[in-house]
Structure 1
């Protein structure tokens, strides 16, 4: 992509901050959407709960990457927090897509970060973008989340839904919690360890998002996950190998259900998801395996 003006929501998060650094390193003009009055030249105010975006700040943007949303693993899933998870995604995407649709000259592309939660529990069956939505809370959120971008699509903007897997990084997300535990020699499999985890290194996540920005043929759902999903047992073994620590402490499924409530079903569930469209479009992973991704982190 030639030098462009790109707006990013969720720019302070794990993925967003890495994406902003990458874009700016290549000379792009990045605008960050913030949930407070803008105080810097590169900030634009928005408030997803009020469906408000300072539209003037988006004028001249060539592309938008929408990554904002409450963390699904940040707290126990009470009914109130489940509402926050849903609203932060659906209202946020509605606000952004309506704002972009209102522009006289809208951006060419909106990359809307969603999640592999769309597919629900796939067991040991491998699925790609052709699979239907699963059942349960997260699949229902993902369906509404993606549908909320309809105003942007109707305005002629190319919209790509980046269905992201578990991001392997030390700085945050699921692996941000795993590294200290395994580094202390206290790690182990979760439940029976047979559930599949579809992962992606932070480096490849950022590269894939940029690939979506640059590849005009990609619209609709695109799975952002490494090509070789692994079981939790295999993740546990890889963490032990790379960190050179024992992994003797399995976490019983019953204990997880007590600690996490409804979220435990997603931790114990299995998602074996393949990046079909990403590979077909010519994307090359720098860290395709679990050992490589852990080492990169």
Structure 2
């Protein structure tokens, strides 16, 4: 069976390609086809964009992971526009082409993020929680992203939307960006540290995408997070312990706001998100607890 993956060279996408390529014929879109081909290997077909896809109905499934990194740059007006366009345009085009296809793909799995929920304090956020945050950029970004993807839903095509937490991985992930102060023994919680931190191990992330791809009755919104979110101070302490480093510093909220501007709110407020629907449908996490996930990402097997 054939799969089309957008964003196939990112952290999640490349791991997903590696997991699925033995059983599926995979096509990946990339703005740099030669670089992507070198990264993904000769067994994957790489095209420059959706314009090179003659018939989207030739694919059994479409997995849409494309989007500029949410935390790569400060949220200026121009960066906000880039974040929106990099997600909304490709999702709208996919939905339109799927809807217009004579024999559309059986499934569209499309990205979103837990930023959809905004600041909800200690309240447990399951997929059925309704939020109304018209002035919150992250919520607006995700809400429109999800709305566009769900337009592809039909009797022929089921749509699954992934509200993804912070992905923990060994290479090129958000976790790696957090490490420098901890490696110097200067790690510590952000702000007051009581805000919740919802995370997921990369291995479980790709496994749940595979699960949704291959579960015929799966559709709708899914929280792509581990079942045990932790407070930020607990995450920080666990990370320092894993690295065998001291843990006594704290990053004040005002420093975060000065350095990151509006983006800092995502880190200082957090969300307590749980994957209720995945668990109800029988998905089992290999890394449900933070300590084991961090050890797997950061320590050699011999010392874990």
> TM-score if structure 2 supplies the norm length?
0.90
SS at match of 1:87: helix
Structure 1 Cα separation of the partners of residues 27 and 17 of structure 2:
9
Paired residue for 2:4? 7
Match of 1:228 in 2: 228
Give the CA deviation at 1:273. 0.7
**Cα displacement (A) at 1:296:** 1.6
2:245 aligned residue: 245
**What do the CA deviations read for 1:20-52 (whole angstroms, capped 9, x no partner)?**
01111x332111012257896702332xxxxx5
Separation in 2, partners of 1:150, 1:270: 26
1:273 aligns with 2:269: no
Secondary structure in structure 2 of the residue aligned to 1:162: strand
Q: Secondary structure at the match of 2:27?
A: strand
Partner residue, 2:198: 198
Separation of aligned partners in 1, 2:220 and 2:252: 38
Which residue in 2 is equivalent to 1:49?
A: none
2:81 to 76, 80, 83: 83
The residue number in structure 2 matching 1:131 is: 129
Task: Give the conservation status (yes or no) of the 8 Å contact 1:68–1:89.
Answer: yes
Moved more, 98-107 or 123-132: 98-107
Unaligned runs of 5+ in 2: 38-43, 298-304
Aligned residues: 288
Counterparts of 1:129 and 1:278, CA distance in 2: 10
| Structure 1 ranges of 4+ moved more than 6 A | 37-41
Matches of 1:266 and 1:147, distance apart in 2: 21
RMSD, aligned α-carbons: 1.8
Q: Note the residue ranges of structure 1 that are not aligned, 5 or more in a row.
A: 47-51
Alpha-carbon distance in structure 2 between the residues aligned to 1:170 and 1:53? 34
The aligned counterpart of 2:14 is: 17
**CA contact 1:287–1:296 (8 Å) conserved in 2:** no
Superposed CA deviations along residues 220-259 of structure 1, whole A, max 9, x for unmatched, are 1010101111011100111122111112221111011110
- C-alpha separation in 2, matches of 1:106 and 1:187: 49
Match of 1:100 in 2: 98
Partner residue in 2 for 1:164 = 164
